[in-house]
Structure 1
Amino acid sequence: SAIPLLRHHHHQAMDARRRSPKKRKFERVPDQDSPPGSGSAGVDLINALPDAVLCTIVSLLPTKDGARTQAIARRWRPLWRSAPLNLVADSTLSRQQRKRVVYVTKILAEHPGPALRLNLPYIRRRDYGKIDGWLRSQALTDLQELHLGYDSQDSPPPSLLSPSALRFAPTLRVATFTDCHFPDLSAQSLNFSHLQQLGLYGVTFSALSAHYLNFPRLKQLTMSVVTILEDALHNMLSGCLSLESLLLEDNVGFARLRISSLTLRSIGFSAPYTQGPSLFHELVIEDAPCLERLLPLSPDYGPTIVRVIRAPKLQVLGVLSKGISKLHIGTTVFQEMTAISLTTTMRTVKVLVIESFGPNLDAVIGFLKCFPCLERLYVLVSTHNCLSQLSTSA
């Protein structure tokens, strides 16, 4: 029958495979150390890349994956130590906090540097001693990107930012600090000479710490739930000589903010939901020759007074609502969305977003007179607790 014959041929094939000294071609693993173009059947494009390119690739991988590349082949073993260190100690490194601490210590001991990025998002009080040691590691010399996030559940918050983190000021290009108290600088000016992006979330500044910070090349600044005094904030912004984008969300400690900047192009702002004498209630744009976008993010909560004295390139404005009780555009004044005087026109504004409660066409017409060259007008209408959006374009 056919079945015994098939079994016979199958056993013959198995015997021939056992006797053969070579594996089948598709079972062989190519020699990773052979030079490219050596005549092998497959072309290994990755292995053909120069070491410098491979190091760049390794440095962009998640921390665990970058370290694992050492197991690929003999040629790859030194690449991870030669590539700029990308150290992110989040759940991708380990889901357990204690294991992440062990891994970070081991990585900093084995990698000689330089470092591209350090991200420590969940720093617990019990690990402060280790954090300070990590930040002093030689492997982190010339660090370019730093993200330090302290655990907001620790009591009493906020935690003091490790002073060792400030040693990277000369080399950092991107930095984020979360839920911490910025240390006093003892009247010593600290110059972040290459920093271009800075994010501050839940950070507390004392007067001494903010007065001596300089950001000459900073282009993007985000401050959210930050505690800082008015004079200190003005001094900080005056040191941002290249700032283009400013985002201020729910910060406390100052009631009035005056902005004069030759470089700012976009400002987004909002006041905290709570009320109080030290909370943000007035924004004054004194002189912003490059400002294009002025964006009240939560106008119903403040600031209640917005004054635009000089912004000759302003193109996008809004959302505006009754939460802004007084809006000054040059010498034109709007009070609770109603034009009190119409003496200034801004022909540069192309996009306007306003919120109107009920069919209030007078308010819309007043804004159209102030901004005669609009290309897009968005009107958010709230009627009987139902919010709808009307839009029109020229």
Structure 2
Amino acid sequence: MDAPPPAAHTSKKRKFDRVDGQEPPGSSSAGDVVGLDFINTLPDAVLCIIISLLPTKDGGRTQAVSRRWRPLWRSAPLNLVADSSLSGQERKRVVYVSKILAQHPGPALRLALPYIRERYYGKIEGWLRSQALTNLQELDLGYDVEGFLPSSLPLPSSALRFAPTFHVASFSCCRFPDLSAQSLNFPHLKQLSMSKVIISDSSASSLNLPHLKQLTLYGVTISGDALHSMLTGCLSLESLLLQNIVGIGCLRINSPTLRSIGLSGPFNAKDATVFQELVIVDAPCLEKLLPLHPDSGPRTIQVIRAPKLQVLGVLSDGISKLHIGTTFFQVTVVFLNHPIRIPICR
């Protein structure tokens, strides 16, 4: 008598048993493919990359997948994002960040502390000195403050130790530290964003950003001279966004690489320097010039040399004078939400 066929559950078990043996793809039939675990056939290096791309909580949970996965989280570059996805309670987030930095040996890919109360300033200083953050590439750091004004607390000095390795950086609600006695180089930084930050003249002139591509300043307090000094150190800048800027009366742009500029002055001009004039001295690659909120400035726009300029953003009666090359326009009409294309004399 022939032996009875194996039970269905036995067949399924055998299919999953093949995972440990990691048979070559060609040795399995088409029906067996359904039961194969392709994730576990990947090398550890690839699994570590996957873990680094996961949200912080999910990356830590991979340690419970299996014995093989248990050490991978500590081998993967750390991706630590301390927002509501880590915990809805700030007190718990602080505890979790301390615990993670104590357990992970590094190196680090990303650290995001977007809304940390000022009372944890000392803890932030300690976190940023952690060995787990060696070779940190991305940092998002900001204090949780109310209102428009930036915090009086300085950016922790320990954050600047990552200047040689930063690729992306975002700072908010703080005062940039005084760097008058030194020059600070960010050789690999490509994107820099600052929101509600105070930047002094001496700090701006100390910054060297040779490979920066995108610079975004929102609600930043900075003088025209300081911003000019800062832009001088941006040798590869392509995109510049200046929104709700406080302290600039006249800004002169001289850049061989800029392709787009978006800008506006302070929304509330009371007790703030009014953004009066923008002068594009020489911008051979500039294609887009976008006044975002014309009523808040600049009142006068002068373009001396920008041979590739094709798009001029929304205009209003807030911009009273427009000079393009040798042509002068007295602006008397209103263009609402409609950027216009302009012919430029070469």
Q: State the alpha-carbon separation in 1 of the partners of residues 124 and 194 from structure 2.
A: 19
Query: Alignment identity in percent?
Result: 66
- Cα contact 1:152–1:158 (8 A) shared by 2: no
Match of 2:3 in 1: none
User: What SS does the aligned partner of 2:308 have?
Assistant: coil
Q: Which amino acid aligns with 2:331?
A: E
Query: Is 1:123 the counterpart of 2:116 in the alignment?
Result: yes
Q: Which moved more, 1:55-64 or 1:180-189?
A: 180-189
Query: Is 1:171 the counterpart of 2:165 in the alignment?
Result: yes
User: What SS does the aligned partner of 1:148 have?
Assistant: strand
Query: Is 1:355 the counterpart of 2:332 in the alignment?
Result: no
Deviations 1:231-268 (A, max 9, x none): 11110000000000000001111200000000000000
After superposition, the Cα gap between the structure-2 partners of 1:372 and 1:60, relative to the gap in structure 1 and judged at 3 Å, is closer
Partner residue of 2:205 out of 208, 211, 217: 211
Q: Which has more radius of gyration?
A: 1
Match of 1:37 in 2: 23
- Cα contact 1:210–1:235 (8 A) shared by 2: yes
Deviations 1:76-109 (A, max 9, x none): 1111111110000000000010111111111111
Q: State the alpha-carbon separation in 2 of the partners of residues 221 and 99 from structure 1.
A: 33
User: What SS does the aligned partner of 1:252 have?
Assistant: coil
Partner residue of 2:343 out of 340, 358, 371: 371
Match of 1:381 in 2: none
Alignment of 1:255-334 (within 5 A): 255-275=249-269, 278-334=273-329
Q: Which amino acid aligns with 2:69?
A: W
User: What SS does the aligned partner of 2:198 have?
Assistant: coil
Q: Which amino acid aligns with 1:157?
A: S
Q: Which moved more, 1:185-194 or 1:112-121?
A: 185-194
Deviations 1:200-253 (A, max 9, x none): 000001222222011000000000100012211110000000000000001111
Alignment of 1:180-199 (within 5 A): 180-199=174-193
After superposition, the Cα gap between the structure-2 partners of 1:130 and 1:334, relative to the gap in structure 1 and judged at 3 Å, is same
After superposition, the Cα gap between the structure-2 partners of 1:93 and 1:334, relative to the gap in structure 1 and judged at 3 Å, is same
- Cα contact 1:32–1:73 (8 A) shared by 2: no
When normalised by structure 1's length, the TM-score is 0.78
Query: Is 1:132 the counterpart of 2:112 in the alignment?
Result: no
Equivalences, count = 328
User: What SS does the aligned partner of 1:280 have?
Assistant: coil
Match of 1:383 in 2: none
Q: After the TM superposition, which segments of 4 or more aligned residues of structure 1 sit over 4 Å from their partners?
A: 22-33, 38-41
Question: What RMSD in Å do the two structures reach over aligned CA positions?
Answer: 2.6
After superposition, the Cα gap between the structure-2 partners of 1:159 and 1:36, relative to the gap in structure 1 and judged at 3 Å, is same
Q: Which moved more, 1:41-50 or 1:280-289?
A: 41-50
Match of 1:362 in 2: none
How much has 1:158 moved relative to structure 2?
A: 3.3
User: What SS does the aligned partner of 1:74 have?
Assistant: coil
How much has 1:300 moved relative to structure 2?
A: 2.3
Match of 2:5 in 1: none
Deviations 1:161-220 (A, max 9, x none): 111000000000000001111111242000011000000000001222222011000000
Q: State the alpha-carbon separation in 1 of the partners of residues 55 and 106 from structure 2.
A: 16
How much has 1:35 moved relative to structure 2?
A: 3.8
Q: State the alpha-carbon separation in 1 of the partners of residues 255 and 74 from structure 2.
A: 44
Q: State the alpha-carbon separation in 1 of the partners of residues 17 and 170 from structure 2.
A: 44
Match of 1:92 in 2: 85
Q: State the alpha-carbon separation in 2 of the partners of residues 35 and 140 from structure 1.
A: 37
After superposition, the Cα gap between the structure-2 partners of 1:226 and 1:34, relative to the gap in structure 1 and judged at 3 Å, is same
- Cα contact 1:32–1:75 (8 A) shared by 2: no
User: What SS does the aligned partner of 2:135 have?
Assistant: coil
Q: State the alpha-carbon separation in 2 of the partners of residues 91 and 269 from structure 1.
A: 31
Q: State the alpha-carbon separation in 1 of the partners of residues 280 and 105 from structure 2.
A: 48
Match of 1:53 in 2: 46
Deviations 1:334-372 (A, max 9, x none): 11237xxxxxxxxxxxxxxx617xxxxxxxxxx99x738
Q: Which amino acid aligns with 1:128?
A: Y
After superposition, the Cα gap between the structure-2 partners of 1:56 and 1:35, relative to the gap in structure 1 and judged at 3 Å, is farther
User: What SS does the aligned partner of 1:128 have?
Assistant: helix
When normalised by structure 2's length, the TM-score is 0.88
* Gapped regions of structure 2 (runs ≥ 5): 1-7
Q: State the alpha-carbon separation in 2 of the partners of residues 136 and 288 from structure 1.
A: 41
- Cα contact 1:33–1:74 (8 A) shared by 2: no
* Gapped regions of structure 1 (runs ≥ 5): 1-21, 339-353, 357-366, 374-394
Alignment of 1:244-259 (within 5 A): 244-259=238-253
Q: State the alpha-carbon separation in 2 of the partners of residues 156 and 314 from structure 1.
A: 35
Match of 1:389 in 2: none
